[in-house]
Structure 1
Amino acid sequence: MIEKQILDHASACYPEESCGFVIATEAGQSYMPCLNIAGTPTEFFEISPDDWLRAYTAGDIVALVHSHPDGLPILSGTDREVQRRTNLDWWLVCGGDIYRYKNVSPLLGRSFNHGSMDCYTLFQDAYHLVGIDMPNFSRSDNWWETEQDLYITNMAKTGFYRVKQAEPGDIILICLGSHKANHAAIYCGNQQVLHHCPNRMSKRDIYNGYWIKYTHSIWRHKAWPSYGFTAILNDMDVSLI
């Protein structure tokens, strides 16, 4: 199996980072191991131009693969920066498992489009970078003016429970011009949130005044890892460069 080949390659390269590609052809998917030519391969990886050419000529590149020996199962800031340039899904080997990360849009500076690039999409993509995949929900414009109550109906169903005090990574639901919780913000610590309001770019904001006044509830995911917010912070730090 392709997963076994990827894990075996990572094990053979330890303590250096492994790297390679998942390639799709008419015969199916295959793993193409590559040589890590980085100057410090125990800390970074670099794929040679020759291997990139070999991958492009072998078929369609499905994903770039590398490992984090003894590291965290999340993409580093450098990983996210290079992932955006390659415009590929990245598969990460860590602790004997394979984590698959889509090339989601940068969390900061997104243009708003309800239903496809909105506060829930930001919430969904940020959690994807943590390793928690949220389902897609069909949501019509102004759903909060109907009988629907999408956030409250689905938070517990998707693994969240309510808390009283926010910690980094928690979801703060806000009543934005409505009596229903129709806006989600990610708490960043230090009284800051990451969110995406209508007709604005996604950004970090001070969590005070209006936002606190109209806060509906605070939610934490049951599977939230201790390193979770690091994944989100890595993405935001790259956007600020």
Structure 2
Amino acid sequence: MIEEKILAHALECAPQESCGFVIKTNFGQRYIPCRNIALDPTEYFEISPDDWIKAHAEGELIALVHSHPDGIPVLSQTDRTMQQRTNLPWWLVCNNKIYKFNNIAPLIGRAFKHGVMDCYTLFRDAYHLAGINLPDFYREDEWWKKEQSLYLDNMEKTQFYRVNDIQPGDIILVCLGSEKANHSAIYCGDQYVLHHCPQRLSKRDVYSGYWLNYTDSIWRHKQWQPYGFTAICNDMAASSNLMY
């Protein structure tokens, strides 16, 4: 019912961007449509302050909703910047579908904690922004020193397949101080990767030297779309803005 109302509101507002909130009340969740008071509402949205106040007064904010009538189904750089500030999941209407994005940590500048905020978390979160949701799985410390091969055992299970070429968005598996593929990086084009090494902040790096020499394999998701990498780039740009 909520999703039907969200889609109907987006259709009613087109070609302008719709906006609103999903709230939780004592009677369940419901959608509150809001007014887009942006100077150019076909390009971006700005929720009326009165509607913000109304939504807060009527219940707990569960998600912020807006639409991309003629856009792509990923959050823009501005969307990601504002999502960090609102600290809410954002639901996006595009092509008469609703895409739901959690408020993940910025992809660049993350502190490392194995099993919680590590190279797989970065890989999984980046793909979430690209519209592909991957499972989480338990990974004990130094699993690669035991009878485990978590990356290679799970890539095909999660609809990845090996490739011999490389394009932005592909996953590179690297043998980091091990004979097993135990580290992942996202190829960003122009010989750069995005990854998260132990005891370091997540960052972009040049794909050469060690990383190139100790590459195990390159993987591509069956559902990957080119706009997925746009989503990752938008987050990296938003992350850079938040750092200054």
TM-score, structure 2 normalization: 0.98
Give the distance between the partners of 2:205 and 2:72, measured in 1 at CA.
28
- Letter aligned with residue 162 of structure 1: R
- Letter aligned with residue 127 of structure 1: Y
Deviation per CA, 1:99-157: give whole Å up to 9, x if none. 00000000000000000000000000000000000101100000001101000000000
Mapping of residues 1-241 of structure 1, within 5 Å? 1-241=1-241
- Letter aligned with residue 154 of structure 1: N
Give the distance between the partners of 1:230 and 1:6, measured in 2 at CA.
25
Task: Report the Cα offset of residue 180 of structure 1.
Answer: 0.4
Where structure 2 has 5 or more consecutive residues not aligned to the other structure, the ranges are none
Give the distance between the partners of 2:166 and 2:192, measured in 1 at CA.
11
- Letter aligned with residue 233 of structure 2: L
Partner SS for 2:197? coil
Give the distance between the partners of 1:187 and 1:158, measured in 2 at CA.
18
- Letter aligned with residue 138 of structure 2: S
Deviation per CA, 1:7-55: give whole Å up to 9, x if none. 0000000100000000111211100000100000000100011111111
Aligned residues: 241
Partner SS for 1:240? helix
Give the distance between the partners of 2:26 and 2:53, measured in 1 at CA.
19
- Letter aligned with residue 119 of structure 1: C
Give the distance between the partners of 1:230 and 1:220, measured in 2 at CA.
16
Give the distance between the partners of 1:18 and 1:182, measured in 2 at CA.
43
- Letter aligned with residue 60 of structure 1: E
Partner SS for 1:147? coil
Give the distance between the partners of 2:21 and 2:214, measured in 1 at CA.
47
Deviation per CA, 1:177-220: give whole Å up to 9, x if none. 00000000000000000000000000000000111111000000
Q: Which structure 1 residue ranges, 4+ long, deviate > 4 Å from structure 2?
A: none
Give the distance between the partners of 2:105 and 2:152, measured in 1 at CA.
26
Where structure 1 has 5 or more consecutive residues not aligned to the other structure, the ranges are none
TM-score, structure 1 normalization: 0.99
Partner SS for 2:92? strand
Give the distance between the partners of 1:166 and 1:109, measured in 2 at CA.
25
Give the distance between the partners of 2:169 and 2:226, measured in 1 at CA.
10
Partner SS for 1:231? helix
- Letter aligned with residue 46 of structure 2: E
Partner SS for 2:199? coil
Give the distance between the partners of 2:180 and 2:54, measured in 1 at CA.
54
Deviation per CA, 1:42-89: give whole Å up to 9, x if none. 001000111111111111110000000111000000000000000000
Give the distance between the partners of 1:52 and 1:59, measured in 2 at CA.
11
Give the distance between the partners of 1:207 and 1:158, measured in 2 at CA.
25
